[in-house]
């Protein structure tokens, strides 16, 4: 293991900084465990907490036969060229995290997917929270400052058991010519909660993702939050879909998007299939410099007892808001930055404070760029 | 403290203030009265420097310095403060964060002043989002307590405020204006827009000015002027052309 840690420490100062702003702690302080994959090499894997098992995907498939029931069951292999690419790998990479029945750990498990030299990094991850378990993940995805081109294909399948809870916080720090295609899906059983948070404040060429959460057990809850900034040349086609297929399930899909010249497509879809279901979508966009924000909130109800709503707004900062802060002594730039920081400030219900702070820090780190 | 000389102001291409002359000395509090649309709010927003208000003639001189063309924040930093009648809501920006951002190097005072204004539980709320009339005024006064301006302009501080809040707000404003100090050691000045005069139960005014049609028509004792208005309405003022 010592060798592995040395390998992480051999990263350049700049790359270590990129991992830090992606929410990763190389000394693993305040983390219950860590998984680091650089390109296709798994360089570090540890977990101090016995209620959580962390394995490589290959190791997990060899160790647990039953895992076959979870492998490629939520994401289809032939969904698109990216899933096919991942499915065709002889030696699939990525990790499996299993939070054992009843285990509760507030300290997050950190996973790092770092693109250094390879043209395509691929992973397939499976995350399982068994009955009554609570699992928090923070995933930092980044490319080296010296990586000019590359792509990341990631398949992730989340299984939230009865009375279980998974929060996953993904912070992206890619480069201007990197393309990213995560393919994720989640299944949430009775009384389970799934929180998915996404932060991307750095330039990237292309990110395209549309995770789907299926709420199959009564009283299941899903919440998706995303906070993104599109720099010139970036195209962020993001969204999420939630299917309310059991009574008393609910979903909330919230996005905050800023363009400084790039394109954001903020998609969201909630489908209310059965009675006594609720869903709300909130897409807010701020155009700071000419670019595109295209909000596509969709709500679809099939029965009388489903209540779905959405609000979407795209615009600029109101001048009277800037003048209000200027009248308190902030200059125009300070006032604008303060308002933007407020716009991006999303408090996520049910998220441990440490992870909320991590999200806040990732946004603060980019704040100077405004 | 502040001297306004022959001020003419346009919004768009319409002249909204004409030939305004006003002098408020150090430690003095003046009251601005007049019917709706007479130009009271326009005058204080012009003094604050908002972009839509174009000074076409005249000058605003603050502490001997011509501030007519200074940006808003520089006026604020020189010590001019404004209590808004209807401040904007800023989605996402928490009141506490704004107060820390505007407090300079005194973030520790935020909690103390918030408690004094019964606003502690609002620090984590978006500024003015869903605030009641009284809560907006308390928030405004709290912001001014952090800012500590030397010249305070108050746009209808009592409007929309219930009896319980008016005492809290009135007392806090009195303190902002150093009304608790002896007149000789009082340095803060104020300009208050009021329709009802309720605020004068808490703050003694030194002079009153009546605005009509974008002009200041007369000056006098604030209480006497308010009593006249209460008895006879603004009609006499509108008809009276005497300056």
Distance CA A360, CA A346 (A): 9
Which of B82, B86, B101, B126 is most worth mutating to test chain A (most A CB atoms within 10 A of its CB)?
B101
Residue A7's pLDDT band (cuts 50, 70, 90): low
Is A328 in contact with B87 (Cβ distance < 8 A)?
no
Residues 131-150 of chain B whose Cβ lies under 8 A from any Cβ of chain A: 143, 147
Q: At what angle do helices A319-326 and B95-102 cross, to 10 degrees?
A: 50
Distance CA A172, CA A22 (A): 6
pLDDT above 50: residue A3: no
What average pLDDT does the segment B183-212 reach? Answer: 90
Distance CA B194, CA B209 (A): 11
State the count of interchain CB pairs (< 8 A) between A and B: 74
Distance CA B104, CA A67 (A): 57
What B160-166 contacts at long range (C-beta under 8 Å, 24+ apart), as own/partner pairs, is B160/B132, B160/B133, B160/B134, B160/B136, B161/B133, B161/B134, B161/B137, B162/B133, B162/B134, B164/B134, B165/B134, B165/B137, B165/B138, B166/B198, B166/B199, B166/B202
Q: At what angle do helices A332-343 and A319-326 cross, to 10 degrees?
A: 120
Distance CA A200, CA A228 (A): 5
Q: Judge whether A172 is closer than 8 Å to chain B, CB to CB.
A: no
| Beta bridge partner(s), residue A178 | A150
Residue A14's pLDDT band (cuts 50, 70, 90): confident
Residue B65's pLDDT band (cuts 50, 70, 90): very high
Name the residue among A255, A148, A139, A266 with its Cα closest to residue A204: A148
Beta strands of chain A (E only): which ranges? 33-38, 41-47, 52-56, 95-99, 109-115, 120-129, 134-143, 150-160, 165-173, 178-188, 193-200, 206-209, 212-215, 221-230, 235-244, 250-259, 263-272, 277-287, 292-301, 306-315
Quote the minimal CA–CA distance from B74 to chain A in Å.
7
Taking only the tens place, the pLDDT of each residue in A258-307 is: 999 999 999 999 999 999 999 999 999 999 999 999 999 999 999 999 99
The two most distant CA atoms of chain A are separated, in Å, by 66
What average pLDDT does the segment A83-95 reach? Answer: 94
Q: What are phi and psi for residue A10, nearest 5 degrees?
A: -80, -5
Q: Judge whether A67 is closer than 8 Å to chain B, CB to CB.
A: no
How many angstroms separate the Cα of A73 from the Cα of each of A4, A44, A183, A267? 32, 27, 13, 24
User: Cβ–Cβ contacts within 10 Å for residue B186, how many?
Assistant: 16
Q: Which residue of A has its CA nearest to B50?
A: A323
Task: Yes or no: say if A174 and A198 are a contact pair by the CB < 8 Å rule.
Answer: no
Residues of B in contact with A344 (CB under 8 A): 92
Distance CA B195, CA B161 (A): 13
Q: Judge whether A359 is closer than 8 Å to chain B, CB to CB.
A: no
pLDDT above 50: residue A2: no
What average pLDDT does the segment B161-176 reach? Answer: 90
Is B92 in contact with A343 (Cβ distance < 8 A)?
yes
Task: Yes or no: say if A109 and A34 are a contact pair by the CB < 8 Å rule.
Answer: yes
**pLDDT value of position A304:** 96
**pLDDT value of position A346:** 85
Which of A225, A313, A318, A324 is most worth mutating to test chain B (most B CB atoms within 10 A of its CB)?
A324
What are the start-end ranges of the H helices in A22-159? 57-63, 81-87
How many structural domains are present in chain B? 1
At residue B30's C-alpha, the angle toward residues B24 and B35, to 5°, is 125
**Lowest model confidence (mean pLDDT) among A125-129, A364-368, B22-26, B156-160:** A364-368
**pLDDT value of position A102:** 94
User: Which residues are CB-neighbours of A27 under 8 A, at least 6 positions away?
Assistant: none
What average pLDDT does the segment A338-350 reach? Answer: 88
Q: Is the ipTM of this complex over 0.85?
A: yes
Distance CA A217, CA A159 (A): 12
Residues 209-268 of chain A whose Cβ lies under 8 A from any Cβ of chain B: 256
pLDDT above 90: residue B51: yes
Task: Yes or no: say if A190 and A354 are a contact pair by the CB < 8 Å rule.
Answer: no
Highest averaged pLDDT of the listed ranges A23-37, A242-256, B166-180, B221-235? A242-256
pLDDT above 90: residue A35: no
**pLDDT value of position B242:** 53
User: Cβ–Cβ contacts within 10 Å for residue A357, how many?
Assistant: 12
Sign, CA torsion A195/A201/A207/A208 = positive
The enclosing domain of B61 has a CATH number of 3.40.50.300
One-letter-per-residue 3-state SS of B85-98: CCCCCEEEEEHHHH
Quote the minimal CA–CA distance from B67 to chain A in Å.
14
Domain ranges, residue B213: 2-239
Is A342 in contact with B50 (Cβ distance < 8 A)?
no
Taking only the tens place, the pLDDT of each residue in A198-216 is: 999 989 999 999 999 999 9
Six-digit token string for B67: 């501030």
Task: Yes or no: say if A119 and A153 are a contact pair by the CB < 8 Å rule.
Answer: no
What average pLDDT does the segment B96-103 reach? Answer: 90
**pLDDT value of position B108:** 83
Six-digit token string for A216: 């199959």
End-to-end CA distance of chain B: 23
Residues of B in contact with A284 (CB under 8 A): 91
Taking only the tens place, the pLDDT of each residue in A158-176 is: 999 999 999 999 998 888 8
Q: Residue B75: enclosing H or E segment and its boundaries? A: helix B72-78
Q: What percent of chain A has pLDDT over 70?
A: 97
- What is the average pLDDT value for chain B, to the nearest integer? 91
Name the residue among B86, B22, B84, B31 with its Cα closest to residue B202: B31
Q: Judge whether A349 is closer than 8 Å to chain B, CB to CB.
A: no
pLDDT above 60: residue A24: yes
Torsion of CA B6, B10, B16, B20, to 10 degrees: -10
Is A323 in contact with B50 (Cβ distance < 8 A)?
yes
Task: Yes or no: say if B84 and A324 are a contact pair by the CB < 8 Å rule.
Answer: yes
**pLDDT value of position A1:** 41
Distance CA A291, CA A231 (A): 9
Residue B241's pLDDT band (cuts 50, 70, 90): low
Six-digit token string for A297: 């909130």
A169: helix, strand or coil? strand
How many angstroms separate the Cα of B115 from the Cα of each of A362, B30, B133, B163? 31, 29, 18, 19
Q: Which residue of B has its CA nearest to A326?
A: B73
Residue A117's pLDDT band (cuts 50, 70, 90): confident
Six-digit token string for B43: 């005058």
Q: Judge whether A326 is closer than 8 Å to chain B, CB to CB.
A: yes
Is B90 in contact with A321 (Cβ distance < 8 A)?
yes
What average pLDDT does the segment A126-146 reach? Answer: 93
């Amino acid at each position: 293991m010592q060798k592995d840690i040395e390998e992480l420490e051999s990263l350049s100062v700049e790359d270590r900084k990129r991992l830090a702003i992606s929410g990763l702690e190389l000394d693993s302080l305040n983390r219950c465990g860590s998984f680091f994959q650089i390109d296709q090499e798994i360089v570090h894997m540890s977990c101090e907490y016995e209620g959580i098992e962390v394995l490589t995907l290959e190791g997990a498939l060899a160790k647990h036969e039953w895992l076959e029931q979870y492998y490629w069951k939520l994401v289809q292999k032939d969904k698109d060229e990216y899933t096919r690419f991942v499915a065709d790998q002889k030696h699939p990479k990525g990790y499996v995290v299993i939070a054992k029945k009843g285990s509760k750990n507030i300290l997050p498990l950190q996973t790092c997917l770092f693109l250094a030299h390879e043209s395509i990094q691929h992973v397939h991850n499976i995350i399982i929270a068994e009955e009554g378990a609570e699992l928090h993940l923070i995933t930092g995805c980044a490319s080296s400052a010296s990586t000019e081109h590359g792509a990341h294909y990631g398949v992730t399948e989340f299984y939230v058991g009865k009375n279980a809870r998974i929060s996953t916080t993904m912070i992206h720090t890619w480069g201007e010519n990197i393309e990213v295609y995560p393919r994720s899906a989640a299944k949430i059983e009775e009384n389970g909660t799934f929180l998915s948070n996404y932060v991307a404040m750095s330039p990237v060429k292309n990110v395209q993702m549309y995770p789907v959460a299926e709420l199959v057990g009564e009283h299941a809850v899903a919440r998706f939050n995303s906070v993104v900034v599109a720099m010139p040349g970036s195209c962020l086609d993001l969204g999420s879909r939630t299917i309310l297929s059991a009574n008393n399930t609910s979903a909330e899909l919230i996005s905050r998007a800023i363009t400084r010249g790039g394109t954001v497509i903020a998609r969201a879809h909630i489908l209310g299939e059965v009675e006594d279901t609720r869903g709300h979508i909130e897409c807010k966009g701020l155009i700071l410099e000419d670019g595109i924000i295209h909000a596509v909130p969709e709500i679809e109800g099939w029965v009388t007892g489903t209540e779905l709503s959405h609000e979407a707004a795209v615009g600029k900062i109101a001048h009277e808001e800037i003048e209000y802060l200027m009248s308190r002594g902030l200059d125009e730039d300070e006032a604008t930055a303060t308002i933007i920081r407020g716009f991006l400030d999303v408090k996520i219900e049910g998220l441990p404070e440490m992870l909320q702070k991590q999200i806040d820090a990732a946004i603060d780190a980019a704040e100077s760029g405004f | 403290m502040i001297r306004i000389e022959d001020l003419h102001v346009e919004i768009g291409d319409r002249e909204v203030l004409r030939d305004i002359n006003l002098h408020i000395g150090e430690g003095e509090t003046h009251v601005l009265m007049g019917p709706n649309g007479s130009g009271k709010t326009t005058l204080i927003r012009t003094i604050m420097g908002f972009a839509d208000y174009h000074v076409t003639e005249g000058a605003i001189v603050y502490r001997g310095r011509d501030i007519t063309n200074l940006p808003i924040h520089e006026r604020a930093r020189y010590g001019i403060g404004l209590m808004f009648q209807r401040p904007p809501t800023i989605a996402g920006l928490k009141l506490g964060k704004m107060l820390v951002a505007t407090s300079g190097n005194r973030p520790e005072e935020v909690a103390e002043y918030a408690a004094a204004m019964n606003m502690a539980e609002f620090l984590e709320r978006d500024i003015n989002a869903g605030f009641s009339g009284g809560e907006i005024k308390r928030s405004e006064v709290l912001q001014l307590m952090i800012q500590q301006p030397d010249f305070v302009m108050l746009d209808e501080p009592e409007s929309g405020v219930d009896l319980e809040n008016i005492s809290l707000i009135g007392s806090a404003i009195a303190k902002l204006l150093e009304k608790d100090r002896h007149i000789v050691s009082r340095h803060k000045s104020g300009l208050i827009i009021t329709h009802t005069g309720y605020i004068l139960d808490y703050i003694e005014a030194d002079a009153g000015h009546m605005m009509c049609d974008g002009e200041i028509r007369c000056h006098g004792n604030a209480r006497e002027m308010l009593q006249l208005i209460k008895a006879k309405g603004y009609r006499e003022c509108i008809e009276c052309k005497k300056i």
